[in-house]
Amino acid sequence: MSKRVLGTFGGVFTPTILTIVGVIMYLRLGWVVGTVGLGAAIVIILLSHVATVTTGLALSSMTTNVRIGAGGFYSLISRSLGIEAGGAIGLPLYFSQAFSVALYIIGFTEVWRTIFPAHNIQLVASTVLLLLVILSFIGVRAAMKVQYFIMAAIVLSLLSAFLGKGQGSEHIVFWHQSTSVSFWKVFAIFFPAVTGIAAGAAMSGDLKDPKRSLPIGILSAIGIGLIIYVGMAVWYAQIARPDQLTSNYTIMMDVAFWRWAVIAGIMGATLSSALGSLVGAPRILMALAQDRLVPFPKTLAAKSAEGEPRSALLVTALLVEVSLLLGNLDSIAILLTMFFLITYGTINVAVFIEKITGIPSFRPRFDIPLIIPLLGSCWCGVIMFLINPIFAAVAIVIIPLIYGIQVKRGLRTPWGDVRSALFDSIAQWAVKTSARMPRHAKSWKPDVMIPVEDPAYWHPLMEFIRDIVFPKGTLRVFSIKIVEQGFESNINRLVDIFVKRIDPAQHENGDHSAEELEEQLNQLVVPIKDEGIFTAATLIESRNFLEGINVITQVMRGMFFPPNLIFFTISEKQVKAKRLERMIAIAIREQLGIIALRLHAQAAFGQKEKINVWLRIGSPNQNLALLTALQLERNWGCAVRLLTVAGTLEEKAKVIRRFHKIAELARMPRDTQVVVLTGNFTTAIARAPAADLNIFGFSHDINWGAMDHIVELLNTSCLFVKDSGAESAFA
């Protein structure tokens, strides 16, 4: 386990301020002032700090609410938005930190070349990297101690710069429109100057008290850095003309009171920034590996006895060496800007979500107004598109892609996150908004509830249920655990069985405990959940099945996404007839549509190739019959026929035209057939074309025997449906 040895000054403020006051200030701030003018340069500094300050405040708020582990920003994001989001942002964050090392080493070599122009730049850069790796290998304490000496050199170099005098400028240019470089490209090159907070945050796993050290260290470093940059911009504008600033990156050395002090400061700043990033990047990679988000997790998550991520350090060093061979300062700066903006924006989004959901677990000691993370997240996104819209669009595609890959991996973590709270809030808002709007049949979809007595009986039917609700419907299954209450209830139950008012075979759940029955219900809906369909399973206790149905139906009508259909099966045995009639009465009272399945024991659903829908002219149940057929047609890929019976041949032609019109208004598939049979209903059924499923409307007077007779005549399974009045196949 990593030893937490660092305090606020050494562990956060020092690496943060040394990364802020680094290569960009010494080698590119003068170029920025010369390219766009002093006023525009200050605008760039302030706009950059909008992203940094909002992120620093958001980071401070998060760190005073949760326990921070190794990995800095990655740790915060993964524990707020989930491990998948942490992985999607953590990888760009790691690369940005690794590329930062290359950026700072390239800055060092530019200064080195002014002193030793004959030296091979690639060899110098690789040597510097090797020395930094060795120092990092020794340990974080040694690296931090070196930074104190570097800070002293930087202070001395700034003092030397302010004491020095250049040729001066006749008049200060406040705004200059460059013809070769756009304002936002200049912004992109400058922005890495203010990204030092990532270096401080990356040390979170080594801090004695991260909740205290991170806010104090980061915010103080940002404030001091802002003062230094504005002061240096004014100084650059006064000591030289714009053309001198744009053509001489090392002009500070030429005008300083002590040239050697500035050289030491530049070299120290670039080396300290490189060292800070080289220490921080492997810790991010180690944290990613610990959560199995990168290849070779065991190797990269390994730590030395002192808690140093040496395997991750070697991989990072190799990546930096590749970037040194391929990159230059300006191109790497632009790439870093995009990576950091993605990370900063996500930190702000995470805090915004935590605050807007109002969850009790978000109780930071350092609280900030909601507008701060909202402004920070929006501004980071805007900057990305202003700098490079193509790269921004690619990032918006790649990060969700990485997120999706992590989701599919199904990783589990011991910590929680706020995603469920976010979607709960969205759902609550959506339900409240929907409740204020008038209901219309155009928005109807199959939201099905199913009373289940024996889960084992329903397993073979779940694929058919899926075909009715997929893709946008919902499913709620529920069961009633019969609770016996005393001697009288037992006597009544025995009497019920003997007089055949209920079917004892359908009360197998009485042999199971409530926990077992609930587990069976949950297993029953797993295939539907795996299809991405909203599904819920509920168990209640009641004195009898009908009483339980009565209660749970009323309760579900008041829930989010209330059911609009009840689905049940018609048994071959008639002992359930009275109870089914009671269930139908409950459904009608609660304004639920009804779908009753009479499953044919041998035929089942056949080949799922043809469906017959039987309708009468003006049938009160035609809407649900057609909508159910359309759902099955979509999911089976089958053909649909509309069938009816005409009394005479003279009526047949009129009925055919009427039913073609119905098919057109209902937007039935183009290959939908209309079949009109003549004679009476019973003889017509015997002559009906074969189908795998037949759909009928409920008659006014329910006749279970007649339904059984229809199934026998057709030799198929049949659905009997009843409209609730809320459906319309013609909307």
pLDDT band at 434 (very low <50, low <70, confident <90, very high): low
Position 413 scores a pLDDT of: 59
pLDDT over 60 (residue 506): no
Position 64 scores a pLDDT of: 77
Contact 247, 57 (CB under 8 A): no
Contact 37, 175 (CB under 8 A): yes
Q: Give the residue with greater pLDDT, 236 vs 180.
A: 236
Position 659 scores a pLDDT of: 92
Contact 110, 27 (CB under 8 A): yes
State the amino acid at position 13 in one-letter form: F
Contact 523, 504 (CB under 8 A): no
Q: Give ranges for CATH 3.40.50.620 in the chain.
A: 599-731
Distance CA 276, CA 143 (A): 8
Query: What's the whole-number average pLDDT of the chain?
Result: 82
Distance CA 705, CA 542 (A): 30
Which tokens hold the place of 416? 């929680």
Position 437 scores a pLDDT of: 67
pLDDT over 60 (residue 481): yes
Which tokens hold the place of 236? 């650059």
Of 268, 146, 143, give the one whose Cα is nearest residue 206: 143
CATH no., domain 8-409: 1.20.1740.10
124-128, 348-352, 468-472: least confidently modelled range:
348-352
pLDDT band at 648 (very low <50, low <70, confident <90, very high): confident
Q: Give the residue with greater pLDDT, 137 vs 564.
A: 564
**Distances in whole angstroms, Cα of residue 118 to Cα of each of 114, 121, 270, 324, 529:** 9, 9, 21, 19, 68
pLDDT over 70 (residue 419): no
Q: What percent of the chain has pLDDT over 90?
A: 26
pLDDT over 50 (residue 300): yes
pLDDT over 50 (residue 498): no
Give the predicted TM-score (pTM) of the model. 0.64
Q: Which residues contact 432 (CB under 8 A, 6 or more apart)?
A: none
Q: Which CATH class is domain 599-731?
A: alpha beta
Residue labelled with tokens 């690639």: 122
Distance CA 419, CA 142 (A): 40
- DSSP run (H or E) holding 717: strand 717-722
Q: In the predicted model, what is the mean pLDDT of residues 108-114? A: 85
Strand, helix or coil for residue 662: helix
Q: Which residues contact 727 (CB under 8 A, 6 or more apart)?
A: 441, 444, 564, 593, 623, 624, 627
Q: Which CATH number fits the domain 442-564, given the four candidates 3.40.50, 3.30.2030, 1.10.10, 3.30.2320?
A: 3.40.50
Q: Give ranges for CATH 1.20.1740.10 in the chain.
A: 8-409
User: How far is Cα of residue 184 from the mean position of the Cα atoms in its chain?
Assistant: 30
Position 606 scores a pLDDT of: 92
Pairing label, strands 593-598, 717-722: antiparallel
Distance CA 371, CA 359 (A): 18
pLDDT over 60 (residue 246): yes
Strand, helix or coil for residue 525: coil
Which tokens hold the place of 484? 């016996």
Position 389 scores a pLDDT of: 85
